[in-house]
Every structure is written in structure tokens, then in C-alpha cells.
Structure 1
Amino acid sequence: MESEDRRKQIIDILTKASSPVTGTELSKKCQVSRQIIVGDVALLRARGISIISTPRGYQLDHAGHVGIQRMIVVCHGPEQMRAELEAIVDNGGRVHNVVVEHQVYGYLEGALNLRSRRDVDQYIHRMQVAHAELLSRISGGIHSHLIEADTEADIAAIEGALDKLGILYNP
């Protein structure tokens, strides 16, 4: 299969999928390595195709935002990561990203796209398996998240839960 045909097939698979599709699934369907799929997704994104990565795989970003978005700033160590993320999703929030400010590189962002405890579990599992460091380690634990919720009351509940955990950043 030619590379352009494969990229069209990836878009077709993601368009028809009712849930995220893993890179491994795409590689099997396209009969190429997972690394080829990673490269294809990067090229498709560069062309303006809105493909997001979630802990469960790739999906097209159909909806854009449908609720209220807010940037929240928090400060904590790795031991509170699960509590932080669960406080957000348990109160109706979606965690789009994590952002830190680096002295040299400036604004560094990692996509998260967490919507449920299942997503949080999978994200934490992937971090553990990869022995990956949190981005917030380079900023002394201070980081922000773009969160989204359906109502202002949900946003207030999220902020209240984070404040109760003692991690909402209030210098």
C-alpha cells in the first residue's frame, strides 16, 4: 500500500471508529509498523487533520469544545497526580493538556485528553511502564491544565476539589 493510500485509510478508520483506535490496531489494519503509523499521524496533523491522542488511542477531534474551558494552575508532586486528575474527571471535567514553563524552552505542553477514571488509570499505567517523568518536575511541581466542563458549577466543583486537596496554586 502506498503511503498516501495508507494515510487515507487511517483517516477512514478513525472517522468510522466509535472509540479511540490504538497505534497497534492501526498498524495491523494497515500492515505496517507502529512507528510508521506514528509518522503518518504526525504528517496528517501537519496537514491540518485534527487527530488527538488519548490514553486509549487516536481519535479525530470532531467536536472542538462543547463546554466551558478554563486554565487552572496547580502545584504538587507525583504522589498527588492521581488524586488531582480524578478530582477533575469525577466532577465532570475533561483534562485537555498539561503545561509547564521552562527557563530555556518557554511554554511546554503535553496532550492528555482525559475524560474518565479509566483514562486516568491508563495514563498512569503508561507513565509507569515507560518510567516517564512528569513534565511538572522541571517546574518544581507548578503546572497548568486546560480543563473543560459542561457548566460553571462543574468548574467550581473542580476548583473546590483541587483546593480541598491543597494543590490549587494560590501564591
Structure 2
Amino acid sequence: MTDGVKLTGSERRERLLAWLKESEAPLTGGELAKKAAVSRQVIVQDISLLKAKNEPIIATSQGYMYLRTQTADKQPVKRIIACDHEPGRTEEELNMIVDFGVTVQDVTIEHPVYGDLTASIRVSTRKEVSDFVKKISSTKAAYLSQLTNGIHLHTLVADDEEKIDQVCDALKKAGILIPE
């Protein structure tokens, strides 16, 4: 909290950075605005300025996160998979992935005009999946995959290759994974 003291822009951005670095969970713009005693729009501008200074901050569907670097001895395993399904199967797809202890980092589509469009998802639990799906529904936003008739890529992240293999087997059985 700023304790009623008006911070300068640079002081506020230092605090924002500290809060993001301290937090294991994403922090929403509203939460950060309340802590800093400013509007959410000020936070959005501050985050943009921090990103412009190469701070590794990402915006996810759950809020802002500071990306931490992994230690050299425990690098996560990443794999990009191709999927195809109707929008109504999104929650099923994401739950199937997180149930194996795998994180869905993002979704990418190949747009005919803009090329590759990637959006951060960062869901690792059923609750995060549920929150993501509810946010899409409540905002009446479209899933990116709707722009490509259901075809999309996901970057999956896990602590070992076997978990991602299990996800791929489950998605294949469900008719969601596009065979290589």
C-alpha cells in the first residue's frame, strides 16, 4: 500500500515491479491499482513502460506476471502441439491438459493477413481453466481458434517429457490433437 503518500511515476513503477516479482500468482490491474492508489489505466500505462524497459512482464487472462528465469539444472520441457476442435470443447481440452500437471502457456493461430497471432493463456489448474473460460464468456470474446475454424497451436510446459506425452495420447483419443 502507498499509505496515502503520492508516489512519483518512477517510484510507483519500482513498487509495481517489486509486487510482481514477489507474487507467485498473477496480479490483476485492479489489484495493482488498489495497492498503488491509482486507476487501472495508470497501471496499464506503467506496465507498458516497464515492458519497454525490457522487464519480462506478461499479461495473462488472470493478470500480470513477472517471468522468472529457470535454474540451469531444472529446465522445463516445452512442446508445441496442433489441435482442432469446436469452441464448445475448449474447457474439455484445457482441463485434459492441466489434469496431467502440464501448463498451457499460450495459443497461436495462423491468420491469413496478420500471420501468427499468439495469446498468453498460462493455465495450470482446473480453477484457472474455469476462470479463463468464464472470462471469455462474460466478455463475449471469441476464442482465437474461431478465426481459423478450430485449428490452433498450444505451447505446453511441464517438468518432464512423459507428462506431455500423456497429454498428447489423451488429446489424440479425444479427437482433438491433429496427427503429425
TM-score normalised over the length of structure 2:
0.89
Specify the code of the residue in structure 2 equivalent to 1:126.
Answer: K
Q: Bigger shift: 83-92 or 1-10?
A: 1-10
How big is the shift at 1:147? 0.5
Contact 1:54 1:114 (8 Å CA) reproduced: no
Separation of aligned partners in 2, 1:47 and 1:136: 32
Q: 1:12 aligned to 13, 18, 23, which one?
A: 18
Q: Where does residue 66 of structure 1 map in the other structure?
A: 75
Specify the code of the residue in structure 2 equivalent to 1:49.
Answer: E
Specify the code of the residue in structure 1 equivalent to 2:156.
Answer: I
Q: 1:58 to 1:141 in 2, by over 3 A?
A: same
Deviations 1:10-30 (A, max 9, x none): 001112224322211100111
Separation of aligned partners in 1, 2:77 and 2:155: 10
What is the RMSD computed on CA atoms of the aligned residues? 1.5
Separation of aligned partners in 2, 1:74 and 1:131: 22
Q: 1:47 aligned to 53, 56, 59, which one?
A: 53
Contact 2:97 2:167 (8 Å CA) reproduced: yes
* Paired residue secondary structure (1:97): strand
Q: Where does residue 138 of structure 1 map in the other structure?
A: 147
Residue 97 (str. 1) matches residue 106 (str. 2): yes
Paired residues, number: 171
How big is the shift at 1:53? 2.8
Separation of aligned partners in 2, 1:161 and 1:149: 16
Separation of aligned partners in 1, 2:99 and 2:20: 27
TM-score normalised over the length of structure 1:
0.93
How big is the shift at 1:48? 1.0
Deviations 1:141-170 (A, max 9, x none): 100011011112101100011111101012
Residue 83 (str. 1) matches residue 92 (str. 2): yes
Gaps of 5+ in 2: 1-6
Percent identity, please: 36
Contact 1:73 1:145 (8 Å CA) reproduced: yes
